[in-house]
């Protein structure tokens, strides 16, 4: 159904990471560290909310985790339970009130929510809720969860969440903070990752943690326990950990792109090491697209493990022919093409001694618009490479993601508008080879039927609901109040409904 989306609307844009902790005196500090480890999942805004025992304390702002939180700010977040969020969205929705966690005083008590993923029926649900009198204060699909919970006839927060989850469709790994508990839930298809862990505290019960990626646990010395199952709600409170299933037996749709690009290689995602997946993709790529060459060069950091696999399988030496400046953000998030072109140069520089006079196999995880690859090929040629053979450790990215990875619109995806030879010409490589879809899943060791590979195959495992072509997704241009991070927590809005209800 995606094809029926209007081109300019065929995309929800959001990339996020979530974190939650229950039962630790340093809940906010540990959340800060967890978010710091997951900065790659969203660089636009970050936020932490704690339950102080009396109220929700919240600090959120646009920017990087390390820039937002200092000692003073973390000191304003007392409490033994916390949730946090990092987010990236596009310019239109790039504003502080869309920063998460979203906090509301509801008829079920104060609630905060952090969400990774995208709902596919958010437009309809929002329209329906507004029709019934709900007033939204953000343009984010995440707010729908809270309105649905507030509308539930069940008083208990977990029961209300179950009600809400029976209405939403799409990808969601969510953490909620309520009075004295942290709740985690994952959509029935398990599109986005969500993992449980524990943090040992001497002489006290373990603190319990939940995060999008296990790299967040490593930094705080927490032990990963297991994934939140697709369709599972997990509750941490003083009584321990409780779990309930709200949807069972559905086809899973684990996002393969988490393994291709998005997750950190040192994380375990969907129970598998991301580094090892990438290495297997690289090995398979070498089998599918061999080429006589002198050196295998990764595009750092995204191509490193795949290049290692390619080098191992092909027997061609691995060489760090490109060095990355680590003080530059992901070029991809720069909003303007002009800046992005420049950005590649700022970020990557060739190592002449590794590539000069050499036939180079250049390995990256994906080609999106093609502009990065084009720049890199040019740079390597200028540094003296005699041939450049581009190898991509995933199939051509032809379709936008509707489940929570930021990809450009279809018409901006080079593989959707150009065939292989046209793409090769555009990036000016001597040859170009992509890993096949079958090859990727063979290397991954799982079936496409358990996964989501829609960005490659166009087969969307969760049917997309078409927005009304006349409607904007959520209004983004109306004037809005400045929701400064300094704002006292008590002033967070009550979740309101108008007299129409
Ligand atoms: P492009 O110049 O648009 O072809 O960008 C390709 C580069 O973007 C590759 O090096 C990928 O590692 C990276 N990339 C792929 N998908 C994403 C994404 N969703 N967000 C940020 N970067 C990405």
415-445 pLDDT, tens digit per residue, is: 999 999 999 999 999 999 999 999 999 999 9
User: For residue 184, how far is its CA from the centre of ligand 1 (angstroms)?
Assistant: 30
Q: Which atom of ligand 1 lies closest to the CA of 375?
A: 2
Does residue 215 have an active-site annotation? no
Please say if the pLDDT value at position 466 is more than 60.
no
User: For residue 322, how far is its CA from the centre of ligand 1 (angstroms)?
Assistant: 16
Q: Which atom of ligand 1 lies closest to the CA of 302?
A: 12
Ligand 1 pocket test, pick from 344, 366, 413, 434 with the greatest ligand atom count within 8 Å of Cβ, gives 366
- Going by the DSSP 8-state scheme, the letter that residue 120 receives in this structure is S
Per-residue pLDDT, averaged over 86-110, amounts to: 82
Report the SS3 class of residue 198: strand
**Neighbour tally for 175: CB within 10 Å:** 31
User: For residue 371, how far is its CA from the centre of ligand 1 (angstroms)?
Assistant: 9
Please say if the pLDDT value at position 471 is more than 50.
no
Q: What is the rounded distance in angstroms from the CA atom of residue 137 to the CA atom of residue 147?
A: 11
pLDDT at 14: 66
Angle CA 327–331–334, to nearest 5? 110
Please say if the pLDDT value at position 481 is more than 70.
no
Mean pLDDT check: name the lowest of 85-94, 293-302, 358-367, 474-483.
Answer: 474-483
User: For residue 415, how far is its CA from the centre of ligand 1 (angstroms)?
Assistant: 13
pLDDT at 98: 85
Please say if the pLDDT value at position 325 is more than 70.
yes
Spell out the CATH class of 8-250+489-499: alpha beta
Task: Establish whether domains 8-250+489-499 and 274-325+339-457 are of one fold.
Answer: no
Q: Which of 16, 215, 255, 455 is catalytic?
A: 16
pLDDT at 3: 26
pLDDT at 188: 97
Q: pLDDT-derived band of residue 474, with 50, 70 and 90 as boundaries?
A: very low
Average pLDDT over the chain, rounded to whole?
88
Ligand 1 pocket test, pick from 192, 332, 405 with the greatest ligand atom count within 8 Å of Cβ, gives 332
Q: Model-level pTM?
A: 0.90
Q: What is the rounded distance in angstroms from the CA atom of residue 355 to the CA atom of residue 350?
A: 8
Please say if the pLDDT value at position 9 is more than 50.
no
Report the SS3 class of residue 140: coil
User: For residue 456, how far is its CA from the centre of ligand 1 (angstroms)?
Assistant: 14
Please say if the pLDDT value at position 187 is more than 70.
yes
**Neighbour tally for 357: CB within 10 Å:** 9
User: For residue 391, how far is its CA from the centre of ligand 1 (angstroms)?
Assistant: 14
Query: Minimal CA–CA distance to 379: which of 337, 422, 341, 434?
Result: 341
User: For residue 398, how far is its CA from the centre of ligand 1 (angstroms)?
Assistant: 13
Pairing between β-strand 195-201 and β-strand 204-211 as defined by DSSP bridges: antiparallel
Q: Which atom of ligand 1 lies closest to the CA of 414?
A: 4
Contacts of 487 (CB under 8 A, 6+ apart): 58
pLDDT, tens digit, for every residue of 273-310? 999 999 999 999 999 999 999 999 999 999 999 999 99
Q: Which atom of ligand 1 lies closest to the CA of 406?
A: 19
Please say if the pLDDT value at position 475 is more than 90.
no
Please say if the pLDDT value at position 129 is more than 70.
yes
pLDDT at 413: 94
pLDDT at 493: 53
Angle CA 16–18–23, to nearest 5? 170
User: For residue 332, how far is its CA from the centre of ligand 1 (angstroms)?
Assistant: 6
Q: Please name the residue whose Cα sits nearest to atom 5 of ligand 1.
A: 368
Report the SS3 class of residue 378: helix
Calculate what percentage of the chain has a pLDDT beyond 70.
Answer: 86
Per-residue pLDDT, averaged over 108-131, amounts to: 95
- CATH (residue range 274-325+339-457): 3.40.50.2020
Q: Which atom of ligand 1 lies closest to the CA of 368?
A: 4
Considering only residues 94 and 191, tell me which one the structure prediction assigns the higher pLDDT.
191
Question: Facing residues of 221 across strands?
Answer: none
Ligand 1 pocket test, pick from 255, 368, 413, 416 with the greatest ligand atom count within 8 Å of Cβ, gives 368
Q: Please name the residue whose Cα sits nearest to atom 2 of ligand 1.
A: 372
Containing 468, the helix (H) or strand (E) segment is none
Whether the ω angle into residue 150 lies within 30 degrees of 0, i.e. cis, is: no
Please say if the pLDDT value at position 6 is more than 60.
no
Please say if the pLDDT value at position 253 is more than 80.
yes
User: For residue 302, how far is its CA from the centre of ligand 1 (angstroms)?
Assistant: 9
pLDDT at 237: 97
Q: CB of 23 within 8 A of CB of 236?
A: yes
pLDDT, tens digit, for every residue of 335-393? 455 555 566 777 899 999 999 999 999 999 999 999 999 999 999 999 999 999 999 99
pLDDT at 357: 98
Per-residue pLDDT, averaged over 37-57, amounts to: 96
Please say if the pLDDT value at position 479 is more than 90.
no
Q: CB of 219 within 8 A of CB of 30?
A: no
CB under 6 Å to ligand 1: residues?
261, 299, 302, 330, 332, 364-373, 405-407
Domain locations in the chain?
8-250+489-499, 274-325+339-457
Q: What is the rounded distance in angstroms from the CA atom of residue 380 to the CA atom of residue 322?
A: 8
pLDDT at 13: 53
Name residue, tokens 């990065």.
Answer: 372
**Tokens coding 49:** 């909310």
pLDDT at 110: 97
Q: Is 54 left (phi over 0), alpha (psi -120 to 50) or beta?
A: alpha
Contacts of 253 (CB under 8 A, 6+ apart): 171, 189, 190, 191, 403, 450, 451, 452, 461, 462
Pairing between β-strand 232-237 and β-strand 240-245 as defined by DSSP bridges: antiparallel
Q: Which atom of ligand 1 lies closest to the CA of 303?
A: 12
Report the SS3 class of residue 84: strand
Q: Please name the residue whose Cα sits nearest to atom 21 of ligand 1.
A: 332
Please say if the pLDDT value at position 61 is more than 60.
yes
Per-residue pLDDT, averaged over 399-418, amounts to: 91
Ligand 1 pocket test, pick from 307, 329, 340, 372 with the greatest ligand atom count within 8 Å of Cβ, gives 372
Q: Which atom of ligand 1 lies closest to the CA of 367?
A: 4
């Amino acid at each position: 159904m995606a094809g029926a989306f209007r081109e300019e609307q065929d995309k929800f844009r959001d990339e996020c990471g979530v974190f939650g902790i229950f039962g630790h005196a340093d809940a906010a500090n540990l959340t800060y560290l967890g978010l710091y480890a997951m900065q790659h999942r969203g660089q636009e805004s970050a936020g932490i909310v704690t339950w102080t025992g009396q109220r929700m304390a919240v600090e959120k702002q646009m920017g990087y985790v390390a820039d937002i939180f200092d000692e003073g700010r973390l000191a304003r977040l007392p409490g033994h339970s916390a949730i946090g969020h990092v987010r990236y969205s596009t310019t239109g929705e790039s504003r502080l009130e869309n920063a998460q966690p979203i906090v509301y005083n509801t008829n079920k008590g104060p609630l905060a929510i952090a969400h990774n993923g995208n709902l596919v029926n958010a437009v309809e649900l929002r329209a329906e809720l507004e029709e019934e009198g709900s007033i939204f204060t953000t343009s984010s699909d995440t707010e729908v969860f809270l309105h649905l919970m507030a509308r539930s006839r069940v008083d208990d927060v977990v029961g209300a969440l179950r009600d809400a989850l029976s209405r939403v469709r799409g990808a969601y790994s969510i953490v909620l903070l309520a009075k004295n508990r942290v709740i985690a839930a994952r959509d029935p298809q398990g599109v986005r990752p969500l993992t449980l862990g524990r943090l040992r505290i001497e002489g006290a019960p373990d603190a319990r943690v939940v995060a999008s990626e296990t790299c967040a646990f490593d930094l705080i010395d927490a032990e990963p326990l297991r994934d939140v199952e697709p369709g599972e709600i997990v509750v941490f409170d003083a009584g321990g950990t409780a779990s309930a299933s709200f949807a069972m037996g559905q086809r899973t749709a684990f996002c393969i792109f988490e393994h291709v690009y998005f997750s950190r290689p040192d994380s375990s995602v969907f129970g598998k090491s991301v580094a090892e997946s990438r290495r297997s993709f690289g090995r398979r790529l070498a089998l599918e697209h061999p080429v006589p060459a002198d050196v295998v060069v990764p595009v750092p950091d995204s191509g490193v493990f795949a290049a290692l696999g390619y080098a191992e399988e092909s027997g061609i030496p691995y060489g760090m022919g490109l060095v990355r400046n680590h003080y530059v953000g992901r070029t991809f998030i720069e909003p303007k093409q002009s800046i992005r072109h420049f950005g590649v140069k700022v970020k990557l520089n060739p190592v002449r001694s590794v590539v000069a006079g050499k036939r180079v196999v250049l390995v990256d995880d994906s080609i999106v618009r093609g502009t990065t690859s084009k720049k890199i090929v040019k740079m390597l040629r200028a540094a003296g490479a005699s041939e450049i053979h581009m190898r991509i450790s995933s199939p051509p990215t032809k379709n936008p993601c509707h489940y929570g990875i930021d990809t450009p619109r279809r018409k901006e995806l080079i593989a959707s508008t150009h065939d292989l030879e046209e793409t090769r010409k555009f990036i000016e490589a001597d040859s170009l080879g992509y890993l096949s879809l079958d090859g990727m899943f063979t290397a991954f060791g799982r079936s496409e039927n358990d996964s989501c590979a829609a960005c490659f195959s166009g087969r969307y495992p969760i049917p997309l609901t078409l927005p009304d072509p006349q409607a904007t997704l959520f209004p983004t241009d109306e004037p809005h109040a400045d929701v400064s991070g300094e704002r006292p927590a008590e002033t967070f809005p009550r979740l309101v409904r108008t007299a129409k209800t």
